[in-house]
Amino acid sequence: MHRKFVVGLLVLLAIPALADQVVLKNGDRLTGSITKSDGKVLVIKTDYAGDVTVKFDAIQSITSAGDLNVSLGGKTVVGPVTTSGDDVVVATKTAGLVEAPKVSVTMLRSPAEQAAYEKSLHPGLLEGWNGGVNLGFAVTRGNSETKNLNIAFNATRKGFHDKLILYTNSIYATNELPTATPHTTANSTGGGARYDHDFSPRVFGFVNGDFLSNALQELNLRATAGGGIGVHAIKNAFTTFDLLAGLNYTHEGYSSFTIPPAPPSTTATVIPAKTDSLEGLTLGDAFTQKIGKGTVITQNLFFYPDLTQTGQYRGTFNFGTVTKLNKWLGWQNSFADIYVSNPPTGTKKNDLQIATGLNFSFTH
pLDDT digit string (tens) for 3-13? 555 445 444 44
- Looking at the chain, the whole-number percentage of residues with pLDDT higher than 90 is 57
| Lowest mean pLDDT, pick from 169-173, 313-317, 343-347 | 343-347
Q: Are 287 and 300 in contact (CB under 8 A)?
A: yes
pLDDT digit string (tens) for 177-200? 877 777 888 899 999 999 999 999
H or E element that contains 364: none
Domains recognised in the chain with CATH numbers? 2-121 (no CATH), 129-363 (2.40.160.40)
pLDDT at position 14 over 50: no
**What is d(CA 319, CA 298) in angstroms, rounded to the nearest whole number?**
6
**What is d(CA 357, CA 333) in angstroms, rounded to the nearest whole number?**
7
Beta strand spans in 202-349 (E): 203-214, 219-235, 239-254, 257-259, 269-271, 274-291, 295-305, 313-324, 329-340
Task: Give the pLDDT band of residue 124 (cuts 50, 70, 90).
Answer: confident
pLDDT digit string (tens) for 218-251? 899 999 999 999 999 999 889 999 999 999 999 9
What is the reported pLDDT for 122? 72
- Looking at the chain, the whole-number percentage of residues with pLDDT higher than 70 is 94
**What is d(CA 168, CA 210) in angstroms, rounded to the nearest whole number?**
9
Q: Choose among 116, 228, 211, 222: nearest CA to 169.
A: 211
**What is d(CA 78, CA 200) in angstroms, rounded to the nearest whole number?**
29
β-partners of residue 241 are 234, 287
Say if pTM beats, i.e. exceeds, 0.85. no
What is the reported pLDDT for 3? 53
**What is d(CA 318, CA 339) in angstroms, rounded to the nearest whole number?**
12
What is the reported pLDDT for 126? 75
pLDDT digit string (tens) for 56-98? 989 999 999 899 999 987 788 999 999 888 889 999 988 889 8
